[in-house]
Chain A
Amino acid sequence: MNAPPPAGGWGTHAVSVRYGRRLALDQVTFRVLPGQVSAVVGGDGAGRTTLLRILSGAIGAGGGMVMRPPRIQTGYLAAGSGTYPDLTVAENLAFRAAAYRIPAAVAGPRIQAYLDRAGLLAARDRLAGRLSGGMRQKLGVIAAMLHEPALLVLDEPTTGVDPVSRADLWSLITQAAAAGAAVVFATSYLDEAERAAHVLVLAEGRELAAGSPEQIVAAMPGRVVAAATRPPGPAGMRSWRRDGRWRVWMPDGAGDVPGGGAELVQPDLQDAVTVAILAREPGASPAPATSGTATSGTATSGTATGKEG
């Protein structure tokens, strides 16, 4: 029987983690609710892996509070691993079932159903080391959710995975949430994050934005316009390519887009997150530097990017 989560769900409150001199996480608060899929997004070195490792219980926090179920009720898939390459698909899952003491009568049909859902039935006797990247990730997710954990933590389950396998993975993740698990996954694909109920955007260990995708978009400071060419001057610094055209972020008070021909667009999560990242870049915000971020107005700083620890 799984322990009930605290009223606010699982998660972290003002958690910080330091690796040597580098602050990998800085006062990060994140809630993960049962029956809901939550996403953590950010680039390389943003702190996603550190946050997920804390939630899974793999490492402790240097400061702040962590609410998580006992490890036996947690399922964790680390980035790029989670399976034994020299065991077959079926052996990997049988081993996992035994480790979590799932009775054979329960494990057998459950494994069958998960493999079917993931399109892996035909590969059950193949060595995990001989699976394609997408198939291996599906096996890893199945292994992590086999004991029906209360909290399912998946680190980049879909990075480099083709869209067909991504759809299978998304189906597995949805099933876990539908069965009541709190599911959290890290991703660099924003169209995927847009399908989550709650999203946390991290950059260099800090919260850049948080909320439902709609809330993050609504909290975006200023406007986004689309133009055929990159505008000259400071607006050019706030531009990026999208769909073969240029998106330009116009912070409040930035005036009109120079050059004309620009049209206002309804921003989506990808635009809002790009704006949040852009707002931290030196020179992108109009003076004085009141670079607003999507939610908490976290102070910006130009610290050097480090590798994810």
Chain B
Amino acid sequence: MDENAPLAECLSVSRRFGGFTAVDGVDLRLGRGEVVGLLGANGAGKTTLIRMLLGLLPATAGQVRLFGGPPSRQARRRVGYVPQTLGLYDDLTAAENLAFSAAVFGRGAQAPLPGWLHGYRRVLVGDLPLGIQRRVAFAEALGHGPDLLILDEPTSGVDPLARARLWETIADAARAGAGVLVTTHYMDEAGECGRLVIMAAGRVVAAGTAAQITGDTRVSVVDTGTWAAAFAALEAAGLPVALAGRTLRVPGASPAAVRQALGPVDARVTEAPATLEERFFQLTAAGARVGRPDPVRKEAG
């Protein structure tokens, strides 16, 4: 297989369930050493897309290719997958889980237990702290040296240092040449991804680096001694307002419009660059809320 050929590829892929279109004409390409973040609200179609890539669900239209061919069982041997639920056996120890996975992948000789697991040798996985469970799931997914890693919300619920350590593992796998497709709800992690693909209502609504997606979008910032009154006034005007410390942030409304909505409330209104989360919200909220696709559509790969 050519070094530059994509590891995974979706060409105008759609998936319908009865009258409902879960994935709608998605294009996606994932190459060697790439870390691609797949972002989207619940119901945006991320999990359906992943299930099609893994060959667990056939596409209704379009083409899904894994290592240049259909996502067959043989192709799946080269994939490491960590589902949201981790996929570990709670009533086995970490070592037993790793040994079982090694046997399933046909690797006879078991690698030595990683150092960080020694303190937990006799503990059942169900009794391990969540951060350690996640590391075990990573170790299991990486055990057979996969060319493609698919991680579904891999860092949910762990502290920031444990999260950074998991990203270290992801980056190491990418540096060694694996392609990584990762979903997350945590926008701060987008900075770890070389490229982002944002989905809403089954479609790709934006793709690129975090900076490219945020672009020059700006939000209005309200500084006031009486945030509760300002919040009430902006809410009454139908503006999407979010509390940030003691200031309020209003995406999608100019400072002049915000000033007018505030009426007699004493406040200073300025502008600031939008965060990725605020931009994401603008891109996806309208489509996800009323269940219609956003008119903007960009190519993902």
Contact = CB atoms under 8 A, between A and B. Distances in A.
Most chain B Cβ neighbours within 10 Å, of A194, A241, A242, A243? A241
A243 B211 CA distance: 12
Contacts of A44: 129-131, 157-159
Given A174-B243, A178-B231, A197-B245, A241 B167 contact: yes
A43 B228 contact: no
Contact of A197 (B42, B232, B246): B246
Nearest to B164: A240
Contacts of A270: 160, 188
A273 B191 CA distance: 18
Contact of B188 (A134, A191, A273, A307): A191
Contact of B40 (A42, A43, A162): A162
Contacts of A163: 39, 41, 185, 187, 277, 280-281, 284
A69 to B, nearest CB: 20
A237 B232 CA distance: 48
A63 B160 CA distance: 30
Contact of A43 (B41, B162, B194, B240): B162
Interface stretch (A6-14, A99-107, A165-173, A255-263): A165-173
Chain B binding surface, main DSSP class: helix
A305 B129 contact: yes
A173 to B, nearest CB: 8
A79 to B, nearest CB: 10
A87 B288 CA distance: 25
Contacts of B132: 305
A62 interface: no
B100 interface: no
A46 B245 contact: no
Contacts of B39: 163
B246 to A, nearest CB: 6
B109 interface: no
Contacts of B288: 164
Interface string A182-212: 0000001111001111000001000000001
B242 A167 contact: yes
A282 B164 CA distance: 18
B165 interface: yes
A64 B246 CA distance: 31
Contacts of A306: 129
B228 A177 contact: yes
Contact of A190 (B42, B160, B289): B160
A46 B159 contact: yes
B92 interface: no
A197 B228 CA distance: 13
A306 B130 CA distance: 10
Interface in A279-309: 304-307
Interface residues of B, number: 52
Contacts of B246: 197
A167 B252 CA distance: 14
Contact of B119 (A43, A197, A304, A307): A304
A170 B129 CA distance: 28
Nearest to B244: A195
Nearest to B35: A244
Contacts of A162: 40-42, 44, 185
Nearest to B130: A44
Contact of B159 (A165, A188, A304): A188
Contacts of B43: 132
B46 to A, nearest CB: 9
Contacts of B156: 159-160, 188
A161 interface: yes
Interface string B99-142: 00000000000000000000100000001011110000000000
A82 interface: no
22 contacts: A44-B158, A134-B41, A159-B157, A160-B84, A160-B157, A161-B185, A162-B42, A162-B44, A164-B285, A173-B243, A174-B242, A188-B157, A191-B186, A203-B159, A241-B192, A270-B160, A273-B159, A274-B160, A304-B119, A305-B129, A305-B132, A306-B129
Interface of B: 39-44, 84, 119, 127, 129-132, 153, 156-162, 164-165, 167-168, 171, 185-188, 191-192, 194, 227-228, 231-232, 235, 240-246, 277, 280-281, 284-285, 288-289
Q: 7 shortest A-B CB distances, which residue pairs?
A: A43-B159, A243-B191, A240-B164, A178-B228, A44-B130, A164-B41, A162-B41
